[in-house]
Chains A and B, each alone.
Chain A
Amino acid sequence: EAGVTQFPSHSVIEKGQTVTLRCDPISGHDNLYWYRRVMGKEIKFLLHFVKESKQDESGMPNNRFLAERTGGTYSTLKVQPAELEDSGVYFCASSQDRRGGEQYFGPGTRLTVT
């Protein structure tokens, strides 16, 4: 069974540009989560999808971030325009069972904004 995959593994962009990160969850997992770790700090929750619906987006830092999950399969996280403080590692996770079930994490996308 394939795990959670993320693309790209590393992205370097200039301030003001747009970047789109992609996450493919484990097949059959309705729950999809985005997290990020900025500058070696804690890994912070961004948002949670159940199928194609946003269940909780309380962790999204501002309106420069837009997450979508059309069709309830893969998800994209767009940052537009990117700022220096957006640099960090963005993790995606998926789970089958919402009630304390294990979240399976992808390898992360390292975003560097210069």
Chain B
Amino acid sequence: GDSVTQMEGPVTLSEEAFLTINCTYTATGYPSLFWYVQYPGEGLQLLLKATKADDKGSNKGFEATYRKETTSFHLEKGSVQVSDSAVYFCALSDRTSYDKVIFGPGTSLSVIP
């Protein structure tokens, strides 16, 4: 079945460091890809998405490009801030079955001043 794998955390970075969180997926169809974020004490929020190959999703300085050839959707940010400390989930939903989102295990990010 469809699945998502992402790098395990926790990840600790200094402020203004470069962030990469790797994500790869397995899907039988043509999935849409997502990054969700959960800030401390809050619910899940959609951070960015891409619906087809080579699309780049971006939001709040974060970017991820849908790479079909490597089945990847790595999350990047050039300069992280303390306020970016959160848990990040890579996820997909399949075009043939939009009824469920399949999540990766989540990566906890801590940014220190």
Q: A residues near B, CB below 8 A?
A: 4, 31, 33, 35, 40-45, 48, 55-56, 59, 91, 93, 98-108
Contacts and interface: CB of A to CB of B under 8 A. Distances in A.
Given A41-B105, A100-B32, A100-B93, A33 B44 contact: no
Interface of B is mostly: strand
Contact of A100 (B43, B98, B103): B98
B51 interface: yes
B51 A100 contact: yes
A68 B106 CA distance: 29
Given A102-B46, A105-B45, A43 B51 contact: no
B110 to A, nearest CB: 16
Ranked 6 nearest A-B pairs via Cβ: A107-B43, A105-B44, A45-B100, A43-B103, A48-B99, A100-B32
A91 B44 contact: yes
6 contacts: A42-B104, A55-B99, A59-B100, A105-B44, A105-B45, A108-B43
A4 B106 CA distance: 22
Given A100-B32, A100-B95, A102-B49, A56 B100 contact: yes
A35 B45 CA distance: 14
B101 interface: yes
A48 B102 CA distance: 13
A89 B56 CA distance: 31
Given A42-B103, A42-B104, A43-B103, A101 B46 contact: no
